[in-house]
Every structure is written in C-alpha cells, then in structure tokens.
C-alpha cells in the first residue's frame, strides 16, 4: 500500500525534528510563530553575542522559521512519484497557487484500505515556510477527504487493496476506434464494470468513424444505448465529424478519457482543450522549470466549463475485489433473467434451469456480452 511505502523527504523530517525540540506538542502553528518572533526579538536585543551565527546557519534558520499561511484546502492535480502537486482551492489567499506537497507522517485519511493520495483527491494541507528561490510553494498534506468517485485497480501483490488511479471525477469516456485499432468489446465491458464500481458514469465514444462503414459500427454497438442506457457517441476527430455531440456531454463535468493507445486520445483532447487552455498550461510549465520532468498540469479546463483530466495510468483501471457470484449483477442486460434461475447462487454457466442461458439461446441476450461475462468470470478468483 502506498501509505506504507511513503517516506517523507529529508527536509521535512529534519524540519519537524528541529521544531519538536524547541516547542512542545499540541501547540498551534500560529502560537509557534508568535513564540518564535518573541525569541527572535530577544536574540536581536542582545548586542554583542559571544558566538555569532555563521551565514550558512543563519540561512538555514531563516528557511526553517519563516511564517507560513497555516492550513488550506486543495486538489491533487499531479503526482511526481516523490511528492504531490496540490492546487490551492481555499479562497482567502493564493487561490489557484501550486504547492509541492509531501505527506505528513500523521496524515488522516477518510479512505481506508486504499491508495493514500491519488490525483483528484481533495486534501487539507499545511503551507511550509518558503526558503530561498523556489519553483513551487512547499506544503504538507495532512488530511485526505472521502472520495466521491474513483477509478481503481487492484494493486500488484496486495490482495483486496485498491489502487486508485484518479478520484472525484464525474465521468469516464471509454474511447475506442472504429478501426486501426478495431474497438474491443470485451474491454468496453470491463471498463463499464470498473466505472460502476467507482460510481463514475461511463460514456462510450467511438472515434475514427471515417475508416469504417458507419451503419455496421452503429448497429454492432446499438445495444449499449438501447438496453443499457449508456451514452454512445460516434465521431471522427480527423474529419472533425460528430464533435458537436461530444462538447455538451463534457460541459460542466470532470471527465477522464480512457482507452487503448492509438485510438486518437491525444488528437481529440488537444482539439477539445482549445488554444487558450494550452497557452495557460505552457506558461505554468515554464515557471515551474526544472523541478519535474513529467508533463505539467494534468487537469485541463474546457473553454465551455468543465475539466478534462489526463492521467497516464488510466488505461489500466479495472475490476478488482469482486467475487464470481457478484459479477452477474454488473451485467444489467441479465437483470431481467437472473432471478428466474433454478439455483441460487447461479454462475450462469453449467447450472440446469439457468434463465440467463435460456435467454441467451432464445436471442434475448447479446452473445458478445455473454462472452465478456465468461471472460471476466474466468479471471476472478473467488
Ligand atoms: P492516442 O494514442 O490514443 O493518443 O492516439 P493519437 O491521438 O496519437 O492518434 C493515433 C493516430 O490516429 C494518429 O496518427 C492520428 O492522426 C490518427 N487519428 C486520430 N483521430 C483519427 C480519426 O478520427 N480518423 C483517422 N483516420 N485517424 C485518426
Ligand atoms: Zn443462471
């Protein structure tokens, strides 16, 4: 689990050690700085100190004890591996400012048995004293609030522990291509379940419609809209066709785009973000020069309101911690038949008197969906 692996930076550790030495536990930061000011004044009042501070030491002391702005609320917009980039949302001052935050050793989280900090999280932070020339303001994450929604996968080697890839988003666009590469219905079905598990609305979006017979693709995927009520969009980023159906869906929402590589995600996202937002992103990347090698802002504001969130791990979100028995509940096209099976529980595979198989044989259930069901069932352990 990330919380176990997390190590605060050396700087934070030594700072907190120094602080702990000179000030007792439980005092507020404000009190601390008030006291510090008093000490400084007392020090200044002594005219000829026997031992003068070396310039280097003095520098360190100033770095450590400059007053900070106490706590603020923020939004995790990126992870650098070493730390997290938090955008301040508290209104009073510095709203929108970016902080490079480590996680406090006594951090509190409202998301047990889960990734400690994920992109999209709403957090409470403590601003740290500013030292010298900095690229980003320093901060410490002290609390992570409950995630409203999330896309997750099971973390490698940790049974039953979810790894959150992104949180607090409204919807996920399951982006596939009509061809080159041909859309993968198994993958669509997996993504649909993962989205439902995380309480995120899924939208199926088929790009590169210029490469295929439109009628064929629309008919092949018609059941998603007709039987499952999932918004399904067909477009061509290259030919700029169908984009007008996408914009209203994104407006005012926080959306992530997910799908295999080569389907046109970058092309589409670049088109949607628009020139203005791209300029803003470039500027912020320049002012934070040299600190992080990753592409900078991962949350892009849309010209008509709403955000697109771009995160590298998003291709890999999936189904985790699900029992074989539970899987059928996520195949809503089975809903009507599930309750009619002779045995409960029924895996809808070999049981006699299985109403789901009956419906399949009579053509009420799409055979491709049943294939998906079997496919996922095989991968579940319990
Ligand atoms: P990503 O890997 O999903 O980010 O895909 P890219 O945006 O890099 O696109 C992969 C390739 O598909 C590029 O060569 C694009 O020019 C091409 N492409 C993107 N959208 C379309 C489309 O609507 N039609 C066609 N024919 N090609 C497209
Ligand atoms: Zn059954």
What is the distance between the alpha carbons of residues 227 and 145, in angstroms, rounded to a whole number?
Answer: 36
Calpha distance 177→248 (Å, rounded): 21
Whether 124 contacts 146, CB under 8 Å: no
Q: Is the CB of 217 under 6 A from ligand 1?
A: no
Domain end marker among 276, 310, 344: 310
Q: Which residue has the tokens 């100190």?
A: 49
The answer to whether residue 171 is domain-embedded is: yes
Q: Are residues 341 and 306 in the same domain?
A: no
Q: Which residue has the higher pLDDT, 7 or 367?
A: 367
pLDDT over threshold 80, residue 93 = no
Specify the pLDDT at position 199.
95
CA dihedral 40→43→49→54, nearest 10 degrees, is -10
Same domain, 216 and 343: no
In angstroms, the CA 132 to CA 331 distance is 57
- Cβ of residue 210 lying under 6 Å from some atom of ligand 1: yes
Q: Report the candidate in 373, 331, 366, 368 with the shortest Cα–Cα distance to residue 349.
A: 373
- pLDDT, one tens digit per residue, over 197-231 is 999 999 999 999 999 999 999 999 999 999 999 99
- In terms of pLDDT, which residue wins out, 179 or 154? 179
* Domain final residue, candidates 261, 281, 310: 310
Looking up residue 361, the CATH number of its domain turns out to be 1.10.40.50
Shared domain check, 361 and 306: no
In-domain check, residue 31: no
167 and 264 together in one domain: yes
Residues 192, 328 within the same domain? no
pLDDT (tens digit, 9 = 90+) per residue, 168-203?
A: 999 999 999 999 999 999 999 999 999 999 999 999
Give the least confident one: 51-60, 67-76, 309-318.
51-60
CA distances from 242 to 27, 236, 247, 248, 307 (A): 59, 6, 9, 11, 20
Using a 6 Å cutoff on CB, does residue 353 contact ligand 1? no
CB 221 within 8 A of CB 170: no
Q: For residue 156, is it within any domain? A: no
Distance from the CA of 372 to the center of ligand 2, in angstroms?
Answer: 15
DSSP-assigned beta bridge partners for residue 127? 139
Q: Is 359 within a domain? A: yes
* Helix, strand or coil, per DSSP, at residue 79: strand
Domain identity same for 339 and 300: no
The CA 136 to ligand 1 mean position distance, Å, reads: 35
Any domain includes 366: yes
Task: Output the DSSP codes for 170-226.
Answer: SEEEEEEESSSSBP-HHHHHHHHHHHHHTT-EEEEEEE-GGGS-HHHHHHHTHHHHH
Instruction: Encode pLDDT of 253-266 as tens digits.
Output: 999 998 888 999 88
| Distance, CA of 285 to CA of 335 (rounded, Å) | 49
- Examine the pLDDT at 83 and tell me if it is beyond 70: yes
Virtual CA dihedral for 8, 12, 14, 18, nearest 10 degrees? -130
Q: How confident is the model at residue 157 (pLDDT cuts 50, 70, 90)?
A: low
Minimum CA distance residue for ligand 1 atom 18 = 264
Q: Which of 144, 177, 212 is the last residue of a domain?
A: 144
Helix, coil or strand: residue 14: helix
Domain range for 197 is 163-310
Compute how many other C-beta atoms are within 10 angstroms of the C-beta atom of residue 55: 8
179 CB less than 6 Å from ligand 1?
A: no
Tokens representing 77 are: 């917009």
Assign 160 a pLDDT band (cuts: 50, 70, 90).
low
Crossing angle of the two packed helices 10-22 and 55-65, in degrees rounded to 10: 90
CA distance 365 to 328: 13
Work out the mean pLDDT of the chain and round it to a whole number.
78
The predicted pLDDT at position 97 comes to 84
Tell which residue, 240, 150, 228, has the closest CA to residue 188: 228
Determine, yes or no, domain membership for 19: no
Categorize the per-residue pLDDT at 315 as very low, low, confident or very high, splitting at 50, 70 and 90.
low
User: How big is the chain by its Cα radius of gyration, in Å?
Assistant: 26
Q: What share of the chain in percent tops pLDDT 70?
A: 72
Ligand minimally distant from the alpha carbon of residue 211:
1
Name the pLDDT band for 313 (thresholds 50, 70, 90): low
Give pLDDT tens digits for 317-332.
778 778 899 999 999 9
Distance CA 135, CA 377 (A): 49
pLDDT of residue 34: 52
Cα–Cα distance measured from residue 97 to residue 351, given in angstroms and rounded to the nearest whole number: 60
Give yes or no for residue 165 having a pLDDT over 60: yes
Ligand nearest to the CA of 242: 1
- Do residues 272 and 366 share a domain? no
237 lies in the same domain as 336: no
Q: Is the pLDDT of residue 23 over 60?
A: no
CATH number at residue 126: 2.40.50.140
Give 185's contacts (C-beta < 8 A, 6+ positions apart): 221, 368, 372
């Amino acid at each position: 689990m990330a919380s176990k692996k997390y190590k605060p930076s050396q700087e934070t550790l030594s700072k907190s050690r120094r602080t702990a030495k000179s000030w007792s536990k439980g005092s507020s930061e404000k009190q601390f700085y008030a006291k510090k000011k008093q000490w400084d004044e007392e020090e200044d009042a002594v005219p000829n100190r026997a031992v003068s501070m070396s310039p280097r030491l003095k520098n360190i002391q100033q770095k450590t004890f400059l007053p900070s702005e106490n706590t603020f609320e923020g939004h995790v917009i990126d992870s650098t591996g070493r730390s997290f980039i938090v955008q301040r949302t508290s209104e009073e001052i510095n709203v929108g400012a970016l902080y490079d935050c480590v996680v406090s050793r006594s951090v509190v989280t409202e998301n047990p048995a889960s990734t400690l900090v994920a992109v999209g999280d709403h957090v409470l932070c403590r601003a740290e004293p500013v030292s010298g020339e900095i690229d980003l303001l320093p901060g410490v994450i002290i609390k992570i609030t409950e995630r409203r929604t999330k896309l997750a996968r099971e973390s490698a080697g940790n049974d039953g522990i979810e790894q959150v890839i992104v949180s607090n988003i409204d919807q996920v666009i399951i982006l596939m291509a009509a061809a080159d590469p041909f859309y993968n219905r198994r993958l669509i079905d997996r993504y649909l379940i993962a989205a439902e598990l995380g309480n995120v609305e899924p939208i199926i979006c088929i790009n590169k419609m210029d490469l295929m017979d439109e009628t064929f693709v629309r008919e092949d995927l018609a059941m998603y809209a007709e039987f499952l009520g999932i918004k399904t969009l067909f477009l061509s980023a290259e030919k700029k066709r169908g984009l007008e159906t996408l914009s209203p869906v994104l407006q005012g929402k926080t959306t992530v785009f997910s799908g295999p590589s080569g389907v046109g995600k970058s092309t589409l996202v670049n088109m949607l973000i628009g020139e203005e937002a791209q300029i803003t992103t470039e500027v912020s990347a320049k002012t934070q020069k040299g600190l992080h090698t990753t592409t900078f802002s991962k949350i892009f504001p849309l010209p008509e309101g709403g955000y697109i969130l771009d995160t590298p791990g998003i291709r890999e979100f999936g189904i985790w911690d699900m029992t074989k028995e539970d899987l059928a509940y996520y195949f809503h096209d089975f809903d009507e038949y599930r309750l009619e099976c002779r045995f409960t529980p029924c895996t809808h595979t070999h049981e006699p008197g299985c109403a789901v198989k009956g419906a399949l044989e009579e053509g009420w259930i799409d055979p491709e969906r049943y294939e998906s069901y079997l496919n996922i069932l095989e991968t579940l352990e319990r």
